[in-house]
Each structure stands twice: as C-alpha cells, then as structure tokens.
Amino acid sequence: RKEVEQDPGPFNVPEGATVAFNCTYSNSASQSFFWYRQDCRKEPKLLMSVYSSGNEDGRFTAQLNRASQYISLLIRDSKLSDSATYLCVVSNTGNQFYFGTGTSLTVIP
Amino acid sequence: EPEVTQTPSHQVTQMGQEVILRCVPISNHLYFYWYRQILGQKVEFLVSFYNNEISEKSEIFDDQFSVERPDGSNFTLKIRSTKLEDSAMYFCASEGAGQPQHFGDGTRLSIL
C-alpha cells in the first residue's frame, strides 16, 4: 500500500470556483502533514502545514482527520495562478517524508 | 528571503560515470534532504542528514549513493556509477528547527 495516496485529477475548474483535494496516508504514526504546490518542472513550494485543529490561510483551508488518516485542501475563489500540481506530504517520526503523486489543477478563465 | 541553491542546474553524464550534485542549504538550518523526481512521476525521498550523519534513507538510496557535508556549507549527493534510470530532477531541501522544508530549484540529471 502506498504511503500517501491522492487523486491525480486533473481537476479543471472555472475561475472563482471552490475546489477540494483529498489525500490519505497509511501510517497511523505519521506526525507532520503539509500541502506543497509544484509548478511544471519547478521545485515543490510549501503551501501550508496542516494542523490537527485545521487551519486557514486566505483562500486555502486545510483539514486533518487522524482517525480516518485523511487530509484535505480546500481552495475558494480559484484564480488562474492557482493552476499547479498540489502535493500532499506526510512525515513519520523520523526525518522521512513521503509525497503523494500530486493532484493537477487547471483554473480556466 | 534565504534560499536553498543547487548547482549545476543541468548535468549531462555518460552512463557509468560518477556525478556530484551540490547544494547550499539555508545557513541556520539543521536538517538536509535529497529527493528525486523522475519525469512525470512523484517526488521520492532519498535521504535525510542531521548532525553530520544520515538519519534516514529510502530503499532507493543504495550503495551507489552517498552524501557529504564537507565544509559546513555545501551538502553534496554523489552517485558513483550512474545508470540510465538515474535520470531525474534531484531536489535538495533544508529545514530549520520547527520549520518546514525549503527546496532548491533542482538539478536535472541526464544520463546518456
């Protein structure tokens, strides 16, 4: 079973739409959770860490459900510049980080 | 804003040759990582490094790979005898205490 699983998409949404991405992880002992975005052929860039209580940063909201081993990212009022691949990243008790395959988002004018 | 820098941006090497990829992490960071991403595939963890030694490594990181922090600033990844399947983008990342990882721009490694 993969450490981190994501729906690869692609998600094609109109500007202004709300879109949600999901991610599941297999190791119940996982400690830290992140969403990164990756533009084509560029390095991953941190979008936000995911905290147990859920957290919001502007148009972006992340949720963690430890019981279901599930992480989500909600993007409200999508902009063209949000088009990218969104990577779910999970780390265990050591310094080992697992990336999902990424979910591709295209925001259409 | 401080950055992780990687050199070269593109390395072309003959199969069987040794290659060294270089990274300069953010100066006050303590944890260092190498990842690779084969074209069209996911980012894969290779190794983490803390306090001058490897703290974790994946099954990809076999005897062909080694890491070093020779002078307290550079963090290098060496591949001893490259194979065609080593062709990928290699990302270095560094992390400060209580902070998330910051990635470099990557080195594209092409094995001929």
The DSSP-derived string for chain B is ----EEE-SEEEE-TT--EEEEEE--TT--EEEEEEE-TTS-EEEEEEEETTEEEEE-TT--TTEEEE-TTSS-EEEEESS--GGG-EEEEEEEE-TT---EE---EEEEE-
The mean pLDDT values, 10 residues at a time, for chain A of 109 residues are 86 96 93 92 90 92 95 97 95 82 94
Q: Which residue of A has its CA nearest to B9?
A: A42
Question: By the CB < 8 Å criterion, does A100 face chain B?
Answer: yes
Q: What is the CA radius of gyration of chain A?
A: 13
The answer to whether the Cβ–Cβ distance between B101 and A46 falls below 8 Å is yes
Please tell me the predicted confidence (pLDDT) of residue A94.
66
Please tell me the predicted confidence (pLDDT) of residue A79.
97
Closest CB to A99: pick one of B31, B43, B48. B43
The answer to whether the Cβ–Cβ distance between A95 and B55 falls below 8 Å is yes
Low-confidence ranges of chain B (pLDDT < 50): none
Contact B108, B89 (CB under 8 A): yes
- Per-residue pLDDT of B83-104, as tens digits, reads 999 999 999 999 888 778 899 9
Please tell me the predicted confidence (pLDDT) of residue A38.
93
Please tell me the predicted confidence (pLDDT) of residue A20.
96
**Number of other residues whose CB lies within 10 A of the CB of residue B63:** 7
